[in-house]
Amino acid sequence: MDDIARYLHQDPLAVRCANFFAEVPGDGRDHTHYGAEVRDFVLGPLVAQLVDSSDYHRRRAAVAKFNGTHQVIKRGIALTPVMFGISFNAVQFNQAGAAVYVYQDGSVAVTHGGTEMGQGLYTKMRQVAATELGVPLDRVRLLPTDTSRVANTSATAASSGTDLNGMAVHNACAKIRARLAQLAAHLSQTAAEQVVFADGWVTAANGQNWSFNDLVKQAYLARIQLWDSGFYLTPEIHYDGAQHLGRPFFYYAYGAAVSEVAIDTLTGESRVLGVDILHDVGRSMNPAIDIGQIEGGFVQGMGWLTSEELFWCQKGDRAGQLMTHAPSTYKIPTAYDVPAHWQVALFDNQNMADTIYRSKAVGEPPFMLAISVFSAIRQAVQAAAGEDQIVNLAAPATPEAILKAITESQGRYSNSASGGGGAVVA
């Protein structure tokens, strides 16, 4: 896309936007190459909002002006969008189970098939149970994930942990709540579907109410089941691996990032100066967790595309061995790599797909937003090489790769005759 834009003398963002899907299905350009209809495309308004909030056009002009007056340091800026399909491609993994237990004192315990690894899954599952039963969050506790409680669990992967397990917890809670609502309706002589669970209270249509704890106690005395299991399978998805056709994703998560970088053309060093992100998580279940996931995923992606280089020994007794195998050699980002200008916002959107509270996955999609860093570095290299030169920048864009791209584009790079790698020719 960047090369096409250079050839056409256009902003790379314009080329990217020209290749967007239609926002309304049926308007053309609404099917993927694997045959799935795109029903929820929101990148158009999302990118437009980010262009305004990040002041993209003014900053791009400022970058061009800077590059025209600085010989050694060059800057680049790029806005790249992301469209990320959510579901396991292996359809059988798109299922989850849960079990919810309500005790006589009104406390609630939840267990499900998801693994907590710092992404906030357990917190969100507690939120689901608390919301569905109308109790304070501190009344809900999580039991550790264990296949002796919930069998045949799918991997907590593909950014689907909340989608799958959240709906399973929701399903279990709905069964318990329905039985409690029937009891409340019987005691108040009203309709069960009009019973409301909220703020630790259960209220019938005629205004009669009970604390959740009291109603649970009465349910126990009446021998009403106070626990249940829940199950969920992602609907509509299917995929023919032989024909490469189907609908492998239930929905798509969208986002975009603006990254501004600077490179030193003498050393190849690069630094991210500023990042603005606007990401679509649907109706966020927990904005604090979601923003943290976006920030963490983006920084991880920065490392993937700038410093995390894999190198295998080519000669000698250790030929074929991975040399970048430890923190001393495999370089991941640190807090020092986080840019001074760092803005992350959530796009105001509701998932069109019937997910838990119309939220969207937020694990892996933000990782891809870091492509904007690589694209911005490429723009900076282009500025150093000259607009009429072809740039071939490899990822990760390490200092060595940046120097190679600059010198190669200027005709000053040649491969060593001994086959031992490249050398910069003075």
Q: How does pLDDT run across 54-109, given as a tens digit for each residue? A: 999 999 999 999 999 999 999 999 999 999 999 998 899 999 999 999 999 999 99
Beta bridge partners of 109: 101, 141
Tokens representing 39 are 């029903």
User: Residue 400, Cα to own-chain centre: how many angstroms?
Assistant: 30
Q: What is the percent of the chain where pLDDT is above 70?
A: 96
- Nearest CA-CA partner of 80 in 20, 4, 12, 19: 12
pLDDT for res 415: 57
pTM attached to this predicted model: 0.91
Task: Report the chain's C-alpha Rg in angstroms.
Answer: 27
> Angle at Cα 363 formed by Cα 372 and Cα 279, nearest 5°?
50
Helix axes 371-385, 287-306, angle to 10 degrees: 40
Q: What is the percent of the chain where pLDDT is above 90?
A: 90
Give the Cα separation of 391 and 18 in Å (integer): 23
Confidence of residue 298 (pLDDT cuts 50, 70, 90): very high
Q: CB-based contacts of 186: which residues, under 8 Å, 6+ apart?
A: none
pLDDT for res 89: 87
State the catalytic residue, choosing from 132, 260, 364, 408. 364
Q: Per 3-state DSSP, what percentage of the chain is helix, strand, and coil (rounded to 5)? A: 35, 20, 40
pLDDT for res 10: 94
Confidence of residue 418 (pLDDT cuts 50, 70, 90): very low
> Is residue 28 packed enough to be buried (19+ CB in 10 Å), middle (13-18) or exposed (0-12)?
exposed
Q: Comparing 121-125, 223-227, 390-394, which segment has the lowest mean pLDDT? A: 390-394
pLDDT for res 413: 59
> Which stretches of 173-279 are assigned E, i.e. beta strand?
196-198, 201-203, 209-211, 227-233, 238-240, 245-247, 251-264, 270-279
pLDDT tens-place string over residues 331-390: 999 999 999 999 999 999 999 999 999 999 998 999 999 999 999 999 999 999 998 888
> Which stretches of 287-406 are assigned E, i.e. beta strand?
341-346
Give the Cα separation of 374 and 394 in Å (integer): 10
Buried b / exposed e over 253-264, threshold 16 CB at 10 Å, is bbbbbbbbbbbb
> Which stretches of 87-133 are assigned E, i.e. beta strand?
95-102, 108-112
Q: Which residue has the higher pLDDT, 328 or 402?
A: 402
pLDDT for res 422: 44
| 425, pLDDT greater than 50 | no
| 417, pLDDT greater than 60 | no
> What mean pLDDT do residues 8-35 have?
93
Give the Cα separation of 372 and 389 in Å (integer): 21
Is there a catalytic annotation at residue 295?
Answer: no
Give the Cα separation of 150 and 240 in Å (integer): 29
Sign of the CA dihedral with 170 first, then 171, 173, and 178 last: positive
pLDDT tens-place string over residues 246-270: 999 999 999 999 999 999 999 999 9
- What average pLDDT is seen over the chain? 94
Q: Which of 392-397's residues contact partners 24+ apart within 8 Å by CB, and which partners?
A: 395/304, 395/305, 396/303, 396/304, 396/305, 396/306, 396/307, 396/308, 396/309, 397/270, 397/305, 397/306
> What mean pLDDT do residues 39-55 have?
97
Give the Cα separation of 192 and 209 in Å (integer): 13
Give the Cα separation of 79 and 56 in Å (integer): 8
> What mean pLDDT do residues 163-192 have?
97
SS3 category, 279: strand
| Structural contact between residues 260 and 56, judged by C-beta atoms closer than 8 angstroms | no
